[in-house]
Chain A
């Protein structure tokens, strides 16, 4: 009886199952890389995260599906299988695609400021905070100064005030 009351359900179930199957197959496409030694896989992933796609500026090799990224992924895999270290692989690609390809640039004359800037800015900020707090302490310790102006200035001020009140009346 239950099956008769909802005839569409079986069909729906099948459709959902089919969609799940299809989508998992689509996701699996990314993972078809096979290694002779499974321990290479985490290194492969790590390298793809840190290498930049030369064609699509803001993506790494793992994210990008452009033709050149596919080629470079294959190249990274090939180099891993040849027992190159991570540093050697980066060097290999850097020699061909320039430093542009490294998402974590090396420290050198062109990039030192990039690396040093955060430290410098924190130091600068600290310095400013320090100075401001010291200034505050000084003004706290000296209770309200009544006569901030020199006699000369006070005279001028009085004169101005007088003139103003005189005009308004």
Chain B
């Protein structure tokens, strides 16, 4: 019986080693999302293209849509932009959240690279950004027909990420919305 207790340190070492080993593969930048399952925060901000128009959650219009946080200073946004364009062509509704940017620069940017957004929310001070828990760009939120955030991606959404993380859920949400 005492002989077995001699193995306790070994067992502890193995357990610790195993824990550390499996933690290696985890991305420490992957923050748990506070807002998944919660309603998209309320906001009232100017539209990027029409300064006189205030946009709010009501402008989501009960669609299943993506909210994409972007800015002209964000390098990775350039990388993901072509894929957003192609998603928009496939009929996916995307709303832009232009985050801590200059209106003129942002407008030029969209003119040059194409505008995949139904409309862009202009948030120069990052007010909605804080309500969403944004800490960098790009970030993309999948919002269902009831305005609930169903998925969040921090970082680039390209074809691979779309297929892995978004496609099935998006399709299911769209089907649900049509079924109602």
Contacts and interface: CB of A to CB of B under 8 A. Distances in A.
B21 interface: no
Interface in A24-75: 54-55, 57, 67-68, 71-72, 75
Interface in B129-161: 129-133, 135-136
Contact of B34 (A68, A71, A72, A98): A98
Interface size class of B (residues with CB under 8 A): 10 to 19
B28 to A, nearest CB: 6
A115 interface: no
B130 A75 contact: yes
Nearest to B29: A57
Interface string B24-55: 00001101111100000000000000000000
Interface residues of A, number: 15
B100 interface: yes
Interface in B93-129: 100, 126, 129
Nearest to A71: B126
A14 interface: no
Contacts of B32: 98-100
B152 to A, nearest CB: 11
A91 to B, nearest CB: 11
A96 B29 contact: no
Contacts of A75: 130
B100 A67 contact: yes
A42 B135 CA distance: 26
Interface string A81-95: 000000000000011
A100 B100 contact: no
A67 B126 CA distance: 10
Given A57-B28, A67-B100, A98 B126 contact: no
Nearest to A58: B28
Listed from nearest, the 7 A-B pairs whose CB atoms lie closest are A54-B135, A98-B34, A96-B133, A98-B32, A68-B135, A97-B133, A100-B31
8 contacts: A54-B133, A54-B135, A68-B135, A71-B126, A72-B130, A95-B34, A96-B34, A96-B130
Interface of A: 54-55, 57, 67-68, 71-72, 75, 94-100
